[in-house]
């Protein structure tokens, strides 16, 4: 299991989740860590009780751990469901991706801390590169967004609400930025790009 959690202002008193990455049900190997109840809803309690083998010793020498839930800094309730995502085990291609997470509780805060943690056997790699915190103007407030991103096979698919005078722009970075028009997206609501090892940022622009 891999975990990313954040804290906006209280210096470690309350950790708020960003994402929990576990072995997904779409994995062709056994022992998927993401399980569902009879109604097809992610079963948080069952997931966090999943045995991962990793253990640790506390300050008084007691050995703890053994489950995914033993390592997270949050109460184990169904409220964690939106933060649980699956990954394919031992796949160095599928998990090499660019991801962005909205952190509303961190807006306009003077102090924001992050914690990155892995618990498990270490049978597949975990790395973070080009990580950063960005302040991006809200596309929702401007009436142009939002843009949704998902992976489909070997393609990255971007979708948004189509409008006659709206098109997509991209930039290789935000500091500095170099926004250029993505051709043939005016008036459309979809853009498909192949997966590469180059980062890109996208925004919608109204004419």
Q: How far apart are CA 27 and CA 13, in angstroms?
A: 36
Q: How far apart are CA 116 and CA 118, in angstroms?
A: 7
3-state secondary structure of 19: strand
Q: What is the mean pLDDT of the chain?
A: 78
For residue range 59-78, what is the model confidence (pLDDT) as tens digits? 788 887 788 888 887 788 99
3-state secondary structure of 70: helix
For residue range 27-65, what is the model confidence (pLDDT) as tens digits? 566 667 787 888 888 899 888 887 777 777 877 888 877
120-124, 136-140, 178-182, range with the lowest pLDDT: 136-140
Q: How far apart are CA 52 and CA 153, in angstroms?
A: 28
Domain borders along the chain are 2-118, 148-206
Judge if the upstream peptide bond of residue 146 is cis by omega within 30 degrees of 0: yes
Mean pLDDT (whole number) for 105-132: 77
For residue range 2-27, what is the model confidence (pLDDT) as tens digits? 666 666 657 767 788 888 888 776 65
Q: Identify which of 128, 132, 91, 126 has the alpha carbon closest to the alpha carbon of residue 1.
A: 126
């Amino acid at each position: 299991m891999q975990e990313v959690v954040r804290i906006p202002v209280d210096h470690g008193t309350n950790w708020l989740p960003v994402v929990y990455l576990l072995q997904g049900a779409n994995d062709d190997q056994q022992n998927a860590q993401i399980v569902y109840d009879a109604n097809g809803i992610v079963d948080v309690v069952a997931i966090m009780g999943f045995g991962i083998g990793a253990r640790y010793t506390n300050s008084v020498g007691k050995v703890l751990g053994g489950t995914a839930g033993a390592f997270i800094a949050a109460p184990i309730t169904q409220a964690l469901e939106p933060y649980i995502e699956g990954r394919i085990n031992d796949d160095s291609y599928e998990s090499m991706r660019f991801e962005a997470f909205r952190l509303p509780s961190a807006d306009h805060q003077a102090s924001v801390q992050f914690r990155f943690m892995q618990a498990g056997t270490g049978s597949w790699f975990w790395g973070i590169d080009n990580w950063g915190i960005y302040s991006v103007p809200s596309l929702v407030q401007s009436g142009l967004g939002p843009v949704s991103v998902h992976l489909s096979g070997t393609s990255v698919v971007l979708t948004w609400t189509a409008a006659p005078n709206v098109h997509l722009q991209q930039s290789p970075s935000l500091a500095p930025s170099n926004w250029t028009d993505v051709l043939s997206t005016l008036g459309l609501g979809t853009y498909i790009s192949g997966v590469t090892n180059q980062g890109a940022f996208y925004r919608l622009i109204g004419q």
